[in-house]
Amino acid sequence: MNKERINTSSKINRRKFLKMSAAAGLTGMGTILLSHIPPAIGAGKKNLIHGIWGGDPGNLSPVIRWDVSAGVIAYNIYDNLVQPNYKKHVIEPLLAESWKNIDPLTWQIKLREGVMWHKGYGEVTAEDVVYTWNFHIESKSFQVGTALWPIDGLKVLSKYVAEVKLKQPFGAFPGVVMGYGGLLVSKKAHQEIGNEAYSRNPIGSGPFVFQSIIGGKEVVLKKNPNYWKKGLPHLEELVFRSIPDSHVRLQSLVRGEVDFCTHPDPKDVSEARKNTNLVYTSIPGWNWDYQTFNLFKKEFPYQNKLVRQAISYAIDREAIQKEIYHGEATVNDCQIPYGFLAYRQPPIRYPKNGDLKKAKELMAKAGVKGYEVEVITSDKDWLRRELELITSMVSQIGITYKIRNLDMGSFTNLWLNHKYEQLFEDIMIVAPDTDPTSWWHLHSKGTFNSGYNSPEMDKLLDDARAESDPKKREVLYHKVVDLTLEDCPKIYHVNVNLVRFYKKGLEGFEPAPQEDRELFVNTRWEG
Amino acid sequence: MKDRLAYLVRRLIQVPFVLIVVSIIIFALVHVTPGDPIQIMLGLETSPDAVAALRKQYSLDRPLPEQYIIWLTKAVQGDLGQSIRSHQPVTQMIAERFPVSLKLAAVSMFFALLLALPTGILSATRRNTWLDYLCTGISIGGLSIPNFTLAMLLIFVFAFKLHWFPITGIGSAIGPKTLWGALAPYSLPALALGVQQTAILTRLLRSSMLDVLSQDYIRTAHAKGVSNWSVMVSHALKNALIPLVTVTAIQFGYLVGITITIEFIFAIPGMGLALLDAVINRDLPVIQGFTLIMAIFFILANLLADIVYTLVDPRIKY
């Protein structure tokens, strides 16, 4: 009797399984390779894709406060009244053709003629200047406490001339009021579109016209065909793609998905510099990272300025520059970065490698053996690492920093309400003038003041602010810095370099020390 | 059919009550968290007058219960407010981002099911063989590797070195206008998410299949001469799928809403990243609106799972 053989051919054994997997894998690979054609990179390019950091750029209207990453986009949509010349360290005309200080309390601004708003909203006139600044003032916007604080009255003198009356003399008017507060909205467009809608549908007069914003992640700008600088811009299209992770941003550039990227992780910079297809630029930024003491809290030993000086002496700033920023920072013990009026080659008082002996002497002189203090910082990863390094440095003079890392919301809440003992943060200097580096932080009425009250400092800052002669201002600011370094209400460490990488072949890009200024009006692709 | 409809109606009636409870909890939690959204938006250099004016505009100067009632009244009319940070209507933000998250979740889950079904079945039917050990090992590996670590590895190998897939580009207006151009950016993030889902579903299906395969009716079917394939698909798998359906629905809801790390790494403009931004900036309308939508989606996904049960197993009645 024949028994039916059990059919075992359907049984999967190891050999069959491996063969099937290999076949499936090869088929898959073939399909992928044949169907995926990488986009051409560089050939005949007329556009530029910029990988910017941060998430949704948010608002793009200059009358509502924006984030730095939104500023990068916005400064390509709007022309400012003036622009800083970073090489000559002067303010130059842009939308404003000229300006004059008629008397200590009066400035007149003459606009360039024939500059057109985007999308058919007519010519830029003095009415737009008056409208924009009045809107800021009436809506009590963020500019009221910063750039536009001295304005007492505004008037349209003629089609292209606006007159500004001030509450007090202000020598920094061109740099602060016109430089930081000088982005205008079109009166006609703003009234028609409405303030809220303007933030997602900006109308500027700059080299690029807003086209679209996609899912809060990608902003597309098109060339302004009616731009007042004839022949510019060269690029047809600018695309800003938000890529929050710094490694991924740089990898996207190397891979060719984007053409330009900023804020790479400092650890990745040296490796990326070896890539011959990329251009690397690094420029000391208009920023600082710093420690602040809450001088409202009278119980802490740091009330004694000798203790604060000791801390400053204990800091090895060069180690911070090397360990945290991998060389992409500039040691600076004061608040004035390179390029500002009254800049002096740092370090001015505190040695770049610190002076532990001096620090200990000062602690002894102050009669303080050591203490514990809580230091808050925000969720910026590099600041946390820097604070850990600083903690180890100050421990050598008996001070223990208890680090409290907070998300930005909680951090801002404590900062605003002065509910902290010590604070560590970084800040960008927004206006091309020395006034904001000092007045807002060190004047007893300054927004960022944390309990420091020195009549001598207040007088120096007020005098420097009112003075219009740059040479006299410089002398005053030197005194401000010297007093800052003596009293140490804040301790400054470094100015972080702004590192940018972009594809070889891109010409005409001028790196700026301002984090939100990446201007592509003059850029083009080779050939 | 009538029973199913009646069940559907009963479940839908419960939805508003569940949403009210969820919205109250979220509202309370968000307002208890320190941080003033207006101050964060305006910056520290802003005058107190400006802060007060904007707080009034967003009704943040009213008592909390009143704020909640104002928000709820508008929400039932479809107005979830406006982002304090970007000034964009929350409903518009959701309309932009929800489809992206949905697509990513769908691709990830499709990939996961495609792998999990055969792997789970193989693992169960070849129990204690090298195949079973291999599948189990891969599942455990998939569960153990954090998805962000896997994401970075995938980027490095498949995008950076091999150039097979792009890193970013989901939702881009300027990518290639082909099917591949539309799908390619989803590949790596879907893989990063899908591996973990595959592991979960494989383990679940294996255990469920083993349970079913040990039942008497399966032995009876074999004894009657029913083919292995029929026993597997017509008898065992159908019953083993029930717990899989539940977990798939829950996991799908999770994938839509809470894949923040993957969205961050791959720069995906989805719900998770927007919610993270909103939490950091204390953008209350966005937090409330997005959470509400995610809650609705979760509820509907689970409802759908319940309906699918009855299709998979007609014996189940509600």
Give pLDDT, residue A32: 44
Percent of residues, chain A, with pLDDT higher than 90: 79
Give pLDDT, residue A485: 98
Q: Which of B88, B93, B169 is opposite residue A257, by nearest beta carbon?
A: B169
- Amino acid A512 reads A
Asked if A448 and B44 come within 8 Å (Cβ–Cβ), the reply is yes
Is pLDDT larger for residue A315 or for residue A1? Answer: A315
Give pLDDT, residue B180: 80
CB A109 within 8 A of CB A95: no
pLDDT of A10 higher than 80? no
pLDDT of B19 higher than 80? yes
Give pLDDT, residue A42: 47
* Best mutation target, B42, B87, B123, B183, to test chain A (most A CBs within 10 A): B87
pLDDT of A43 higher than 60? no
Tens digit of each residue's pLDDT (9 = 90 or more) over A323-347: 999 999 999 999 999 999 999 999 9
Percent of residues, chain A, with pLDDT higher than 70: 91
Region A236-259: what's the mean pLDDT?
93
Ranges A274-278, A293-297, B172-176: which has the least confidence: B172-176
Distance from A383 to chain B by nearest Cα, in Å?
A: 17
pLDDT grade, residue B44 (50/70/90)? low
- Amino acid A124 reads V
A449: left (phi over 0), alpha (psi -120 to 50) or beta: beta
CA angle A186, A188, A194 (to 5 degrees): 85
* Largest separation between any pair of C-alpha atoms in chain A: 123
pLDDT of B21 higher than 80? yes
* Largest separation between any pair of C-alpha atoms in chain B: 85
- Amino acid B123 reads S
Ranges A18-22, A28-32, B126-130, B176-180: which has the least confidence: A28-32
Region A478-491: what's the mean pLDDT?
98
pLDDT of A41 higher than 50? no
Q: How far apart are CA A512 and CA B281, in angstroms?
A: 28
Q: How far apart are CA A355 and CA A352, in angstroms?
A: 9
Give pLDDT, residue B29: 85
Q: Which residues pair with A373 in a beta bridge?
A: A401
- HSE of A321, CA atoms in CB hemisphere, 13 A: 19
pLDDT of A161 higher than 70? yes
**Among A425, A428, A427, A426, CA closest to A517:** A428
Question: Which A positions 207-246 lie with beta carbon below 8 A of chain B?
Answer: 212, 214-218, 220, 237, 239, 241-245
Tokens found for residue A68? 């730095």
Give pLDDT, residue A6: 40
**Among A372, A392, A415, A431, CA closest to A145:** A431
Q: How far apart are the first and last CA of chain A?
A: 87
Tens digit of each residue's pLDDT (9 = 90 or more) over A174-217: 999 999 999 999 999 999 999 989 998 999 999 999 999 887 68
Q: How far apart are CA A14 and CA A158, in angstroms?
A: 89
Report the predicted TM-score, pTM, of the whole model to 2 decimal places.
0.87
- Looking at the complex, does the CB of residue A413 fall below 8 Å from at least one CB of chain B? yes
pLDDT of A23 higher than 70? no
- Amino acid A448 reads F
Q: How far apart are CA B139 and CA B130, in angstroms?
A: 14
SS3 state of residue A384: helix
pLDDT of A8 higher than 60? no
pLDDT grade, residue A33 (50/70/90)? very low
Asked if B167 and A257 come within 8 Å (Cβ–Cβ), the reply is yes
Show the 3-state SS of A223-278: ECCCCCCCCCCCCCEEEEEECCCHHHHHHHHHHCCCCEEECCCHHHHHHHHCCCCE
Q: How far apart are CA B76 and CA B95, in angstroms?
A: 17
Tens digit of each residue's pLDDT (9 = 90 or more) over B190-231: 999 999 899 989 989 988 888 888 888 878 887 888 887 777
pLDDT of A459 higher than 60? yes
CB B310 within 8 A of CB B317: yes
Tens digit of each residue's pLDDT (9 = 90 or more) over B161-201: 898 999 988 877 776 677 887 788 899 999 999 998 999 89
Q: How far apart are the first and last CA of chain B?
A: 11
CB A386 within 8 A of CB A493: yes
The 10 Å CB-count burial string (b at 16+, else e) for A92-131 is ebbbbeebebeeebbbbbbbbeebbbbeebebbbbbbbbb
pLDDT of A349 higher than 60? yes
Q: How far apart are CA A316 and CA A394, in angstroms?
A: 10
Tokens found for residue A22? 């290999």
Q: Which residues on A lie below 8 Å from B37 (Cβ)? A: 409
pLDDT of A3 higher than 70? no
Give pLDDT, residue B54: 79
Ranges A138-142, A241-245, A297-301, B178-182: which has the least confidence: B178-182
Residue A99 sits at φ, ψ, to 5 deg, of: -150, 150
Tokens found for residue B108? 């990830």
* Cβ neighbours of residue A86 closer than 8 Å, sequence gap 6 or more: A339, A510, A512, A513
Ranges A157-171, B35-49, B191-205: which has the least confidence: B35-49
pLDDT of B318 higher than 70? no
Give pLDDT, residue A389: 97
- Integer-rounded Cα Rg, in Å, for chain A is 28
Question: Which A positions 441-470 lie with beta carbon below 8 A of chain B?
Answer: 447-448
The H or E element containing residue A506 is strand A506-507
Asked if B86 and A200 come within 8 Å (Cβ–Cβ), the reply is yes
Q: Which residues pair with A156 in a beta bridge?
A: A162
Number of alpha helices (DSSP H) and beta strands (DSSP E) in chain A: 16, 20
Tens digit of each residue's pLDDT (9 = 90 or more) over B52-83: 877 888 888 888 889 899 888 998 899 999 88
Region A360-378: what's the mean pLDDT?
96
Is pLDDT larger for residue B245 or for residue A385? Answer: A385
Q: How far apart are CA A226 and CA A207, in angstroms?
A: 8
SS3 state of residue A485: helix
pLDDT of A18 higher than 60? no
Question: Which A positions 75-104 lie with beta carbon below 8 A of chain B?
Answer: none
Tokens found for residue A450? 């944390």
- Looking at the complex, does the CB of residue A44 fall below 8 Å from at least one CB of chain B? no
Angstrom CA distances, A435 to A146, B34, B206, B277, stand at: 10, 32, 70, 32
Q: How far apart are CA B136 and CA B128, in angstroms?
A: 10
Q: How far apart are CA A45 and CA A33, in angstroms?
A: 25
Region B100-116: what's the mean pLDDT?
91
Angstrom CA distances, B222 to B78, B126, B214, stand at: 57, 16, 12
Give pLDDT, residue A27: 56
Considering only alpha carbons, which residue of chain B is nearest residue A258? B168
- Looking at the complex, does the CB of residue A438 fall below 8 Å from at least one CB of chain B? no
* Best mutation target, A198, A217, A246, A445, to test chain B (most B CBs within 10 A): A217
- Looking at the complex, does the CB of residue A55 fall below 8 Å from at least one CB of chain B? yes
Beta-strand relationship, A278-284 and A490-503: antiparallel
**Among B118, B113, B111, B110, CA closest to B232:** B118
Helix axes B2-32, B64-76, angle to 10 degrees: 140
pLDDT of B258 higher than 90? no
What DSSP assignment string belongs to chain B? -HHHHHHHHHHHHHHHHHHHHHHHHHHHHHHHSS--HHHHHH-TTS-HHHHHHHHHHTTTTS-HHHHHHHHHHHHHTT---B-TTT--BHHHHHHHHHHHHHHHHHHHHHHHHHHHHHHHHHHHHTTTSHHHHHHHHHHHHHHHS-HHHHHHHHIIIIIIIS--S-SS-TT-SSS-SSHHHHHHHHHHHHHHHHHHHHHHHHHHHHHHHHHHHTSHHHHHHHHTT--HHHIIIIIIIHHHHHHHHHHHHHHHHHHHH--HHHHHHHT--SHHHHHHHHHHTT-HHHHHHHHHHHHHHHHHHHHHHHHHHHHH-TT---
Tens digit of each residue's pLDDT (9 = 90 or more) over B270-298: 998 899 888 888 888 999 999 989 888 88
- Looking at the complex, does the CB of residue A11 fall below 8 Å from at least one CB of chain B? no
Distance from B248 to chain A by nearest Cα, in Å?
A: 26
Q: How far apart are CA B106 and CA B100, in angstroms?
A: 10
pLDDT of A463 higher than 60? yes
Q: A424: which DSSP letter?
A: E
CB atoms near residue A5 (< 10 Å): 6
Asked if B39 and A412 come within 8 Å (Cβ–Cβ), the reply is yes
Q: How far apart are CA B53 and CA B50, in angstroms?
A: 5
pLDDT of A519 higher than 50? yes
Alpha-carbon torsion, ordered B120, B122, B125, B128, to 10 deg: -90
Tokens found for residue B153? 């590895």
CB A468 within 8 A of CB A239: no
Ranges A343-347, A518-522, B235-239: which has the least confidence: B235-239
Asked if A412 and B46 come within 8 Å (Cβ–Cβ), the reply is no
